[in-house]
Amino acid sequence: MVKWLEGIGNDEDVVVSTRLRLARNLANYRFPNFMTDDEAEALTDEILNGMKDNVYDVPYKFYRIRDLSDIERSVFVEKHLISPNLAKKLDGGSFLIRNDERATVMINEEDHIRIQVLMPGLNFEEGWEISSKIDDSIEGKVEYAYHEKFGYLTSCPTNVGTGLRASVMVHLPCISMTGHINSIIEGLTKIGLTVRGIYGEGTKASGYLFQISNQTTLGESEEDIIKKLNRVVQEIISRERSTRAYMLDKRNHQMEDMIFRSFGILKYGRIISSAEAMNHLSNVKLGCDLGMIDYIKPKDIIKLMIKIQPASLQKTVNRDLTYEERDMYRAELIRKKIRSLEG
Amino acid sequence: MLCDKCNKNTATIHFTKIINNHVEERHLCETCAKENNYLDFTFEVPFSFEKLFTGLIDSMPEDSGKRRVVACPKCGLTYKKFQEVGKFGCAKCYEVFERNISSLLKGIHGHNTHQGKVPINTKDKIVQKKAIESLKLELEKSIEKEDFERAAYLRDEINRLKEKLGEI
C-alpha cells in the first residue's frame, strides 16, 4: 500500500507527486554527524516532546531505524517516505510518519529535523502550507538554529537559508523519446533547478521518471522558490502533452505497437528485471494516460512501479531473494496485479 | 552473457564505472559480485557533492597573515576540517567562521542573505534589537543637546528592552 498516493491530484497525467522538504536544527545541540549517542537520544526526546501536543492533529507513528529490518527500512525508502540517508542512520536515526503517509518528520538525518510532505499530483500550495504548519508547531517548543543573515542553519552549507527543497516527480516519456529531454535538463540547470532520478541524488532516471527541484536555498523566499518551480513545471507539462499529441498524430501505429507490446510482456513475461519492468510500466502508463488502455488507472501503474522495487518485492514474499528469484517473483507479481486490474 | 570473473555463471549484475572520463564496464554473476563486495550499492551515492564545493572553498583567498588555527568552541571543528568534510559541526560554527562562510554561501547560492521565513521567537528579537539601536542613536543626540531628562528616560528604556532580550 502506498497511502500518500491516494486521492486526486492536479495534472496527474504528467506529475506523479509533489514533495517539500524543510531542514531544521536545534540551537543547543551539535549537528547529527558530530553528535554522541547520548546527545542524539536527548535530542530525539526533545523533538518528540516538542511535537506531542501540536503536531498530533492527525495520528503519527514513531519508528527508530535500528528497530527495523534491512528490508523494512528499504521499503520506506522505495515508497519515498524516508530518505536513503536516514535509512543508514542505525545509531541515532528515527522518524515520525503521519498515518496518511503525507508527512514525515525525520530525526537525526544530516540535520536534526527534516520535515517532508508528499502530495499526489502537482500541489505546491497545500504541500507548503502543511510543511510550514508542522514547522511552526515544532518551533513553538524548541529553539531553532537561526542566523539573522544566513537564515536557518544546516549541517551542509548547500541547504542553509530557507532549508527548503521543493520537488516534483514527473513522467516524461514523450519528451524523452524524442530526445528533447537533454535540452530541457540543460535549460533547467541554467536557471538554478536540478533534475535527478527518482530515488534522489546520484540515482539514474528509470521509467522516464524524473525529479525536478530547486538547487539553491538561500536568497529567495519559500514562496518565490515555489512560484518559480511551479511556472517551470507548468511549462514542462504543456510540452510533454503537446509532444504526446504530436506523436499520437504522426506516429499513431508505432505508439500503439510500443504500448501494447509492453503490455504484452508485463501480462505474460516470466522473468523480468526491475529496469525492464520500469520501462514497460512507463509505456503502459502512457497508454493509460492516452486512453488506449482505459480500464486501468495510471495511478495503479505508479503503485506497481513502487511494489516491484527489490525491498518491496521481498517484503511481499517475506524473505530475502536472490537476483534470479527476484526477477521471477517480480514477473509473477506484475502478471497477477494486471489480471486483477483487468477484473 | 557470462560472468567476467568466473566465466561460468550468467552475469546478472552490470556496472558502469566512470572515473575521469575513463569508462569501465563489469558484468558479474551474483556469487562473484558478493565475494568482491560489489553488492552493497543499493542507494550509495557514487560521487560526493561535498567535494564539489569544498573545491570552491579551497580556491578562496585565506585571511592573510592569520596563522592562528581557529576552532569552534562548541564542537571543535576547524575550518581546515570543514574544508575536508564539507559539513559544519554546529550552529556556532556559522558565527566562528562567519567571514569565510559569507563568501562561500555567495559562491554556492549566488546570494548570502536569507529571504523568507523567520522563526516567530527570532522575529520578536530582531525587532527589539533594531529598536534598541535606534534608541541608542537618539540617546547620543539628546546627550549632545544636553537634554538629560530625555537621556535618562531613553537609558531606562534601552535597559528595559535589553533585559527583555536577556542581555542583562
Mean pLDDT of A120-135: 94
A148: how many CB neighbours lie within 10 A of its CB?
A: 12
Amino acid letter for position B4: D
Write out pLDDT tens, residues A273-285.
988 999 999 999 9
Lowest-pLDDT range of A113-122, A286-295, B131-140:
B131-140
B113 contacts A219? CB cut-off 8 A? yes
Selected residue with higher pLDDT from B133 and A175 = A175
* A192 contact B CB<8A: yes
- The residue among A323, A324, A327, A328 with the most chain B CBs within 10 A of its CB, best to mutate, is A323
Write out pLDDT tens, residues A229-253.
999 999 999 999 999 999 999 999 9
Write out pLDDT tens, residues B79-129.
888 988 899 999 999 999 998 899 899 989 999 899 999 988 776 777 777
Check: CB of residue B45 under 8 Å from CB of residue A199. no
How confident is residue B11, by pLDDT bands cut at 50, 70 and 90? confident
Query: Where is mean pLDDT largest: A332-336, B2-6, B141-145?
Result: A332-336
Complex prediction ipTM: 0.83
Largest CA distance in chain B: 98
Tell me which residue in A144, A156, A219 faces B119 most closely, judged by beta carbons. Answer: A144
**B36 to chain A, minimum CA–CA distance in Å?**
16
Q: Is the pLDDT of residue B16 over 70?
A: yes
Nearest to A212 by CA among A195, A190, A197: A195
B30 contacts A323? CB cut-off 8 A? yes
Selected residue with higher pLDDT from A182 and A15 = A15
Would you list the DSSP string of A300-341?
A: HHHHHHHHTSHHHHHHHHTS---HHHHHHHHHHHHHHHHHHH
**A106: phi then psi, degrees, rounded to nearest 5:** -90, 135
Chain centre distance of CA A141 = 29
Nearest to A205 by CA among A182, A228, A238, A239: A182
Average pLDDT, chain A: 92
Check: CB of residue A115 under 8 Å from CB of residue A21. yes
* A222 contact B CB<8A: yes
Check: CB of residue A103 under 8 Å from CB of residue A116. yes
A107: how many CB neighbours lie within 10 A of its CB?
A: 26
A 249-288 residues inside an 8 A Cβ radius of B? none
pTM above 0.90, yes or no: no
Q: Is the pLDDT of residue A30 over 90?
A: yes
On chain A, the residues whose CB falls within 8 A of the CB of B111 are: 161, 216, 218-220
Q: Is the pLDDT of residue B166 over 90?
A: no
Cell readout for A27 is: 540551537
On chain A, the residues whose CB falls within 8 A of the CB of B113 are: 149-150, 218-219
How confident is residue B52, by pLDDT bands cut at 50, 70 and 90? low
On chain A, the residues whose CB falls within 8 A of the CB of B60 are: none
A156 contacts B50? CB cut-off 8 A? yes
Selected residue with higher pLDDT from A218 and B42 = A218
